[in-house]
Amino acid sequence: MNLKTINNVFFIGIGGIGMSALARYFKFIGKQVAGYDKTRTPLTLELESLGIAVHYRDDVGAIPEGCRDARQTLVVYTPAVPTEHSQYQYFLNRGFEIKKRSEVLGLITKDTFCFAVAGTHGKTTTTSILAHLLKEANTPFTAFLGGISEDFNSNFVFEGNEYSVVEADEFDRSFLRLSPNVACVTSMDADHLDIYGDVDELHRSFSAFTERIKPGGQLLVRKGLPLEGKTYGIDDGSDYCIEGVAIEGGTYVFDIRTPDGLLKGVRFNKPGRHNLLNALAAFAMATFSGRPVDELAAALESFKGVQRRFSYQVKRDDFVYIDDYAHHPTEINAVYQALVEMHPNKKTLVVFQPHLFSRTKDFVDDFAKSLSQFESVLLLDIYPAREKPIEGVTSEWLLGKMDVANKKRIEKANLIEEIKRYDPEVLVTMGAGDIGLEVEKIKNEFGYAH
């Protein structure tokens, strides 16, 4: 398919983080862009502000006239949209070119030097750090991010089209549509078992992704993963290795040993060992751009972060509020590690919204163990996303398995009131559902809005 001959692009599920980045791209290159989403969010409002027509009802009549010409319109959809969706059926039955988001991303990036970050955790932060490093090194690149970068205030970055930076998403085997020059695998923990069935099948899919690397390309893997490639890690003798980590005033200071030598006194400001690994992976990938390694290493210090990735909403001596996208036990463990390291001996309250019935069912004991590390936990109801309820799989069930002295399932409507009751020194909100929409309300209610 030749994207140059397409005049109109219609998105079914335009408000998703990956879909909205593609919508921005097509708008940027001069296409007419429109789309549907179920709910109005800050992301869809921003798309509307760019002149993109977004509607919120599943009604064929809402499809703009310009998007009804099958010869000039590309339809992009997300697997989260059910196939019985009336607009999807309208396009399907009239011979339109309909592609998944991942296919379109593959088409856009196939003629570029493509950096692709895969892994069950760390993709968004790693790609955002990589984009930041390439920008600081004046590299002509386009980036499609799975979160809002605080450095670019966007999930889409255009600085040229010689290089591309993308997340290689394992959900629905999307990453098998990409053909990267440099690929990274950060982690391969069990997840999306509703798609894969078991962890062995998930691992096979990651192996298939590594076979998509272009001839002469490079694979970077976190040390210990069952894949062959250049390794990275902390104090473990990896090909790219962080050594001698110290903390100075909330900033990590360390050395990086590479296959070509040692870079001393590198600084990075995002808390958590998982973020140190993300920073190292991004740096190692960036070295394959040919930019000066000392310049790339120095740029790590100025990385601001990604919204909802251990994001400080309030940071004062008497009160800290952190929001994080963590929705898997491994990610919750990473948040706990960062909290203990950066804010020890503080009265801490965690608010967690489980994401997906299937994920809660598959990992309920691991979730209970991860959450039981915290002294106080408020649990919201499970965010269903694309799923129907599973009998017996509830937040009450998870709560019963948690070994926490102060634990409670609450309604979202009572969230502010419950936080006040606990009066924490450190507050953390976690989850991949609509809990992110509560962040501004929490800040405003407590009088800490920026």
110 labelled as ligand-binding? no
pLDDT of residue 141: 97
CA separation for the pair 52, 46 (Å, rounded):
9
| 119 in a known ligand binding site | yes
**Phi and psi at residue 46, in whole multiples of 5°?**
-70, -40
Q: What is the pLDDT of residue 81?
A: 85
Q: What is the mean pLDDT of the chain?
A: 92
> Are 90 and 179 in a shared domain?
no
Can you name the residues that pair with 383 across neighbouring β-strands? 355
pLDDT tens digits along 292-334: 999 999 999 999 999 888 889 988 888 999 999 899 998 999 8
Helix (H), strand (E) at residue 106: helix 101-109
Residue 160 marked ligand-binding: no
Phi, psi (degrees; rounded to nearest 5) at 11? -110, 130
Domain that holds residue 408: 311-445
Rounded to whole angstroms, the Cα distance separating 256 from 80 reads 40
**pLDDT value, residue 118:** 93
186 among annotated binding-site residues: no
Higher model confidence: residue 152 or residue 309? 152
Q: Which DSSP category does 382 fall into?
A: P
Which of 207, 136, 124 minimizes the C-alpha distance to 166? 124
386 pLDDT exceeds 80? no
Residues 284 and 190 in one domain: yes
User: Of 52, 77, 98, at which residue does a domain stop?
Assistant: 98
Residues 143 and 187 in one domain: yes
C-alpha 126/C-alpha 169 separation (Å) is 13
Residue 392 is labelled as binding a ligand: no
Half-sphere exposure (CA, 13 Å, Cβ side) for 265? 2
Give residue-wise pLDDT tens across range 96-108: 999 998 899 999 9
Q: Which two tokens stand for residue 380?
A: 């919201």
Tokens of 166: 């993308």
* 253 and 385 belong to one structural domain: no
Q: pTM, whole model, 2 decimals? A: 0.83
Reply yes or no on whether the pLDDT at 183 is more than 90.
Answer: yes
Write the DSSP assignment of 419-439 as a string of letters: HHHH--SEEEEE-SSGGGGGH
CATH number of domain containing 276:
3.40.1190.10
pLDDT at 91 over 90: yes
Q: How far apart are CA 365 and CA 60, in angstroms?
A: 44
What is the distance between the alpha carbons of residues 310 and 86, in angstroms, rounded to a whole number?
A: 38
Q: At what angle do helices 273-286 and 329-342 cross, to 10 degrees?
A: 100
133 and 276 within one domain: yes
Structurally, the chain folds into a number of domains equal to: 3
Q: What percent of the chain has pLDDT over 70?
A: 96
Same domain flag for 31 and 160: no
> Considering Cα of 104, then 107, then 110, then 111, what sign does the dihedral take?
negative
Q: Is 429 annotated as a binding residue?
A: no
The per-residue pLDDT for range 402-431, each reduced to its tens digit, is 999 899 999 999 999 999 999 999 999 999
- Cα distance between residue 332 and residue 406, in whole Å: 18
29 and 84 fall within a common domain: yes
Mean pLDDT, residues 366-372 taken together: 97
Q: Is 13 known to sit in a ligand binding site?
A: no
| pLDDT recorded at residue 315 | 87
290 vs 450: CA distance, rounded Å: 39
Q: What band does 449 get if pLDDT is binned at 50, 70 and 90?
A: very low
Residues 260 and 122 in one domain: yes
Residue 406 domain-assigned?
Answer: yes
Based on the domain organization, do 38 and 178 belong to the same domain? no
> Does 375 or 174 have the greater pLDDT score?
375
Domain termination site, one of 302, 320, 346: 302
- CATH code at position 423: 3.90.190.20
